[in-house]
A = this chain, B = another copy of it.
Amino acid sequence: MSWRDNLIKIEPYVAGEQPNKTDFIKLNANENPYPPSPMVAKAVRDFGADALKKYPSANAVPLVNAIAKREGLKPENVFAGNGTDDVLSLAFRAFFNSDKPIIFPDITYSFNTVWCDILRIPYETIPVDGDFNIDPADYARPNGGVVIANPNAPTSIGRGLDFIRKILDSNCESVVIVDEAYVDFGGVTAVPLLQEYDNLLITRTFSKSRSLAGMRLGWAMGSPELISALYATKDSMNSYPVDSIAQAAGVAAIEDEEYFQATLKRVIATRERLTKELRGMGFTLPDSQTNFVFATHPKYSAKAIFEYLKTRDIYVRWFNKPRIDNFLRITVGTDEDTDALIAALKNLIG
């Protein structure tokens, strides 16, 4: 018997590659190509480091208040954490304690299965159709919980309120998590449904639309019962997950609505141009409601394009997984990044 026998055996989530060099175009982690609001820079610059000697607000009260105000909710409807991944992993632990499997699409955020494995939550995946669409009727079956990303990733497809409502109406005995990481780029939020459904939890991130991937901030919105269970779970793992500077930066990002909207417009405009260019080169891709596109080419394999782009110092995301291994997930970069990407692809494809 050895201590080695008791080490965890697990297949971790693999995030987008971070090459060990500086001069490359990174379109593989759905980061925002534009910097955070100047108000964030000011909040960081003006933060008095002496205050770091004290623990932060354990429940990130200033940040929760700012989010609640912006979303038209009460503070007891909001929970803030160390990135959406922190929030989602806590939510899985807090809500999914049934013997029945939780259900989610086979093609969606690939961290779902990893959390289920490490948290020992049974799960079943439900195939999306050939166009990557989710049929809400498939979610009317006994389950221990439902997780839907809307818009979905990596497909980039967003659905309307009627879609979420159908899933909620057939799942009044389960908690339904709607991950809205990408909703700001053209999706439809389920926030209005919070007034009707106590079992709905919506998650958001600062990493995409608010350009704060490096700051690790995410939040959840739901009924006070769900939010309380999240706090109890957080307080059983790490009492203070969100540091004081991150809280201040998050407040600044939330309050600068004008900058936020302007950045969204720029990303969306570039996405539309990229979509048109890719289709012009023969790529097939759904209309994206996110800050990335999900594209396949009839003549060139996704893997070959992925490898080729790397030789040009352009990193996109290729998933070596069933059903999607001939697709590329390409983050919408700056207009310059996009020009370079298009030029490289034209060079390959003609």
Contacts and interface: CB of A to CB of B under 8 A. Distances in A.
A236 B117 contact: yes
Given A18-B55, A18-B58, A26-B54, A235 B13 contact: yes
B225 A7 contact: yes
Nearest to A242: B216
- Contact-residue size bin, chain A (C-beta under 8 Å from the other chain): 35 or more
Interface string A7-43: 1101011111010000000100101111110001100
Interface in A269-323: none
Nearest to A39: B49
Contacts of A115: 236-237
Given A29-B55, A49-B41, A57-B18, A174 B3 contact: yes
A207 B6 contact: no
Q: How many copies does the complex hold?
A: 2
A175 B3 contact: yes
Contact of A214 (B174, B207, B244): B244
A241 interface: yes
A55 B31 contact: yes
Interface in A89-116: 89, 93-98, 114-115
B238 A85 contact: yes
A330 to B, nearest CB: 17
Contact of A6 (B35, B53, B97): B97
Contacts of A347: none
Nearest to A253: B52
Interface string A219-243: 0000001100101111111111111
A167 B97 CA distance: 37
Given A3-B173, A36-B49, A240-B216, A82 B85 contact: no
Contact of A54 (B53, B214, B236, B238): B214
A187 interface: no
B44 A49 contact: yes
Interface in A174-224: 174-175, 199, 207, 211-216
A4 interface: yes
A236 B112 CA distance: 10
Nearest to A4: B225
A307 to B, nearest CB: 22
A93 B18 contact: no
Contact of A36 (B53, B118, B214, B235): B53
A75 interface: no
12 contacts: A3-B95, A6-B95, A6-B145, A41-B49, A44-B245, A49-B249, A86-B237, A115-B237, A117-B236, A118-B233, A118-B237, A243-B246
Closest 4 pairs between A and B when the two form their complex, measured CB to CB = A12-B235, A41-B49, A35-B50, A214-B244
Interface of A: 1-8, 10, 12-16, 18, 26, 29, 31-36, 40-41, 44-45, 47, 49-58, 82-83, 85-86, 89, 93-98, 114-115, 117-118, 120, 144-145, 172-175, 199, 207, 211-216, 225-226, 229, 231-246, 249
